[in-house]
Amino acid sequence: MDSLFADRINDVPRSFIREILKVALDPSIISFAGGLPNRDFFPADELQQATQKAFAHSGKDLLQYSSSEGFLPLRQWIADRYRQTQGLEVSPDSILITSGSQQGLDLLGKVLLNEGDGLLMEAPGYLGAIQAFSIYRPEFINVAVDGLGMVIEELDRRLANHSPKLAYTVPNFQNPSGISYSDANREAVADRLRGKPCVLIEDNPYGDLRFSGSPTRSFYDLLPDQTVLLGSFSKCVIPGFRLGWLVAPDALMQKLLVAKQATDLHTSHFTQCIVHQYLQDNDIDAHIRTIVDAYGGQCRAMIAAMERHFPASVHYTRPDGGMFLWATLPDGLSAMALFEEAVKQQVVFVPGDPFYSDRENSSTLRLSFSCVDDDTIEVGIERLGLAIKKMMEAQS
Ligand code: PMP
């Protein structure tokens, strides 16, 4: 059978997270591994009411095929929200509803990447993006991100030798590291790409989940003609409907529509109508505040526990929002080896390797705080601290 598989799929890294989630099914294991939003905040009752109302209003039309662009009232809602929350002028005609923002990544790869084309990628970066783009067999041009965003000296070195067609960024509360790009960093990145034949992707599923610090400028504001925005209802409403969107300039949108039609004709009309009804009848900002208050508290609890239980030589990010933080082990200790020890201590996380397109045995790890309460965080981080100390002792 192996000889039948297309080269494009053989090159794609398997999702390590799926393997880890199998381990995490054991209830005695504390998991900081999953990247899931907390189900406690899924508005199940409200969505049930919205479903009934949508049926009462539209009947069987809810169940019919629909337009590839997506449900116009939902696109209008998204456009209005860009104006209200970020002061961005986005026309509903520039918005394509996708089956999760993950599909936006695939469509962009399909439309823009020939084999061997340059793709500027954050390192570490979202592994689902590495996976989605790998199908199109680009040349990954990795640029490190630090606490302020892309490392500009490294970006300059890469751009001196490469001409990427696509640049992929998660500038707000990045998955996996939790870091955000500063305004100065965004301006510096935009300056480097302005006027070049390159599309910048601002993937922003976590932007609404800010629990500290102040808002920053969108790349769409800095580089309007070259930026594609990706958005998602997964983190602020529910992920199960698979509803996201992208915002793209007209010429690109025409090609994306062809790719969308070829892929799945359109995203579920049914779920679009339900979410639109939900958004009409509920205060989404109040809902987001509830999520943000919880995640902010959990993030602070995790940092406080790390201060107590981790050796001082372990470094970690201090996110202003989102669902993740990122730790770096001392002396090149392997996070994959730590994972083995941590499973023995009944705690799991995601080792850094899958977040790089080109690295093994990294010393970094992702910890998710979205689905764990303060007491669990305390116990889990204490166990992880113990595992780290054991490894450090074994090394010395
Ligand atoms: N981009 C990033 C950075 C993500 O973290 C995720 C989800 N983990 C996605 C895109 C995909 O989200 P969805 O398809 O659910 O909108």
- Mean predicted lDDT score pLDDT of the chain: 95
Q: Which of 17, 42, 101 to mutate to test the pocket of ligand 1 (most atoms within 8 A of CB)?
A: 101
Residue 120 and residue 168: Cα distance in Å, rounded? 6
3-state helix, strand, coil in the chain (%, to 5): 50, 15, 35
Q: From atom 11 of ligand 1, which residue's Cα is the shortest distance away?
A: 102
Phi, psi of 137, rounded to the nearest 5 degrees? 55, 55
- What does the pLDDT average to over 210-231? 97
For position 7, what pLDDT does the model report? 87
126, 180, 245, best to mutate for ligand 1 pocket (most atoms within 8 Å of CB) = 126
pLDDT in tens, 53-77: 999 999 999 999 999 999 999 999 9
Best residue among 169, 234, 272 to mutate for probing ligand 1's pocket (most ligand atoms within 8 Å of CB) is: 234
Would you call 293 exposed, middle or buried from its count of C-beta atoms within 10 A (0-12, 13-18, 19+)?
exposed
Give me the pLDDT at residue 271, please: 98
Question: What is the number of helices (H) and of strands (E) in the chain?
Answer: 14, 14
Contact 85, 172 (CB under 8 A): no
The Å distance, Cα 147 to ligand 1 centre, comes to: 21
* CB contact burial 371-383 (16+ within 10 A = b; e otherwise): bbeeebbbebbbb
In the reported structure, the alpha carbon of residue 259 is separated from the centroid of ligand 1 by a whole-number distance in angstroms of 20
Among 19-28, 32-41, 94-103, 256-265, the range scoring the smallest mean pLDDT is 19-28
pLDDT of amino acid 15:
66
Q: In this predicted model, what pLDDT tens digit does every residue of 241-294 receive, in sequence order?
A: 999 999 999 999 999 999 999 999 999 999 999 999 999 999 999 999 999 999
Asked if 109 contacts 263 with a C-beta cutoff of 8 angstroms, the reply is: no
Residue 253 exposure: Cα atoms within 13 Å on the Cβ side: 21
Residue 310's alpha-carbon distances to 125, 328, 365, in angstroms, are 25, 11, 14
Task: Indicate the DSSP class of residue 89.
Answer: -
Centre of ligand 1 to C-alpha 36, Å, is 10
Cβ–ligand 1 contact at 322 (below 6 Å): no
Average of per-residue pLDDT across 76-99:
98
Q: What is the per-residue pLDDT for 207? A: 97
CA of 324 to the centre of ligand 1 (A): 13
Question: CB neighbours of 361 closer than 8 A, spacing ≥ 6?
Answer: 334, 335, 336, 353
Ligand 1 neighbour 128 (Cβ under 6 A): yes
- Does the CB atom of residue 171 touch ligand 1 within 6 A? no
Ligand 1: distance of its center to the CA of 129 in Å? 9
Cα separation, 37 vs 236, in Å, equals: 8
Report pLDDT digits (tens) over 175-216. Answer: 999 999 999 999 999 999 999 999 999 999 999 999 999 999
Work out the pLDDT band at 26, boundaries 50, 70, 90: confident
Residue 100, ligand 1, Cβ within 6 A: yes
Q: Does pLDDT of 24 surpass 80? A: no
Ligand 1 pocket mutation, candidates 232, 326, 371, criterion most atoms within 8 A of CB: 232
Q: How confident is the model at residue 224 (pLDDT cuts 50, 70, 90)?
A: very high
| Cα 91 to ligand 1 centre (Å) | 23
C-alpha to C-alpha distance for 177 and 167, rounded to whole angstroms: 18
Look at the alpha carbons of 280, 282, 283, 285 in this order and tell me if their dihedral is positive or negative.
negative
Residue position matching structure tokens 């059978």? 1
Q: Is the pLDDT of residue 98 over 80?
A: yes
Mean pLDDT of 308-323: 98
Is the CB–ligand 1 distance for residue 170 below 6 Å? yes
Question: pLDDT value at position 361?
Answer: 81
Per-residue pLDDT at 25 exceeds 80: no
The percentage of residues in the chain with a pLDDT greater than 90, rounded to a whole number, is 90
Dist. CA 75 → ligand 1 center (Å)? 19
Strand partners for 324: 368
Residue of 16, 78, 102 to mutate, ligand 1, most atoms within 8 A of C-beta: 102
Q: Where are the alpha helices (DSSP H) in the chain?
A: 7-10, 16-23, 44-58, 72-86, 101-112, 127-134, 152-161, 183-193, 219-222, 250-264, 269-281, 284-309, 335-344, 374-395
Q: Ligand 1: distance of its center to the CA of 362 in Å?
A: 23
Q: Which atom of ligand 1 is nearest to the CA of 232?
A: 16
What does the block give as tokens for 198? 């390159």
Distance CA 326, CA 176 (A): 7
DSSP annotation of 2? G
Q: What separation in Å is there between the alpha carbon of 131 and the centre of ligand 1? A: 12
Token pair for 276: 């639109």
Q: How far is the CA of 206 from the centre of ligand 1 (A)?
A: 9
Give the confidence band of 2 by pLDDT, cuts at 50, 70, 90: confident
Nearest ligand 1 atom to alpha carbon 35: 8
